[in-house]
Amino acid sequence: MHWSKSALAALAAAGLAALPAAAQQAPPAPASRFVVVLDAAHGGSDPGGRLGSGQPEKAATLALSVRLRSLLAARGIAVVTTRESDATIDSNRRAAIANYAAAQVCLSLHASDSGSGAHLFVSSLAPVQATRFAAWKTAQAAWVTRSLALAGVLNSALLHGGMNVTLDRTTLPTVDSMTCPAVAVEVAPERGPDGQITAEPDDPAYQARVAGAVAAAVLEFRTEARQP
């Protein structure tokens, strides 16, 4: 587990020239702590899928997590990551890190060679009222409504960024055990009108665009969450 440095965040938010406009307009230090958990899927002995570039999925998700962490920290958002290196972490541990952080946004990052654009997944658990004690495997059920709202904001931001987006439900053990608004984001290749791949999921420029759109969505979600 790695916490971003608030000092670094403040410095970055203060005006690094390379930051997009949204970062420069970010409000000063928020009154209440807004925490985002980034879960780079797979890692270590679990390589995940194999991308068209030949890279394993675990490398692409880690690169995206690092890039996204920097963007969010630059906007003054506290970020917790489940891994910062090529380490094996099981799904229970990942969910435990997210739940311990009491995050307002949890993003499980994946990459795939099939489909196109970005695939957003919310847990397929049926929504329930929050209770004091929740079953571990279905803890996300009390958060599904908020997760759907988060997916909607992400969908808008990614579409605005010119990406093809699909929105669906799935059963993913890591997400199903998270007690926070949680969405699994799967980055697929970018394809042209003829269906040919124009950018692989581990392409740095493509990842930068995805990360920028996701960061903008998180900021939007934070703003919406703070509105009375």
Partner 1 sequence: MIPRYQKVLVIVLLVASLVMGGVLWQLRERAHKRLLAGEDSAPTHAPEVAPSEQATLVAANDADGSLLAQAHSLPLPQDPGARARVLVGKLLDLYAAPDSAHPVPGGAAGVAQVFLLPATGPKDPQNPDAQLAVINLTGSFAASHPSGLETETLTVLSICATLRANFPRITQVRFLVDGQQRDTLAGHADLTRTYLTANAVPTGGTNP
Q: Which spans of this chain sit near partner 1 (rule: CB under 8 A)?
A: 42, 46, 48-50, 57, 110, 112-116, 119, 121, 124, 166-173, 176, 184, 186, 188, 195
Overall residue count recorded for the chain in this entry: 228
Shortest distance, position 78 Cβ to partner 1, whole Å = 26
Identify each DSSP E strand in 90-221 by its residue range: 105-111, 118-123, 165-170, 182-187, 190-191, 197-199
- In the block, tokens 């969405």 appear at 183
Q: What's the min distance (Å) between Cβ of 33 and partner 1? A: 30
Q: CA gyration radius for the chain?
A: 17
Q: Which is nearer to partner 1, 1 or 96 (CB)?
A: 96
Q: Which is nearer to partner 1, 15 or 44 (CB)?
A: 44
Q: How far is CA 22 from the centre of its chain?
A: 18
Report the nearest approach of partner 1 to the CB of residue 35 (Å).
Answer: 24
User: Residue 56 or 76: which CB sits closer to partner 1?
Assistant: 56
Provide the minimum distance between the beta carbon of 228 and partner 1 in the complex, in angstroms, as a whole number. Answer: 35
How far is residue 219's CA from residue 19's CA, in Å, rounded to a whole number? 14
Query: Which residue's CB is nearer to partner 1, number 59 or number 77?
Result: 59
DSSP symbols for 132-171: SS--GGGGGGGGHHHHHHHHHHHHHHHHHTT--EEEEEE-
Question: DSSP assignment, residue 56?
Answer: B
Question: In this structure, are residues 180 and 150 in contact, taking their beta carbons and an 8 Å threshold?
Answer: no
Unique residue bearing structure tokens 């703003």: 223
Identify which of residues 48 and 76 has a Cβ nearer to partner 1 in the complex.
Answer: 48
Nearest distance, CB of residue 223 and partner 1, angstroms:
28
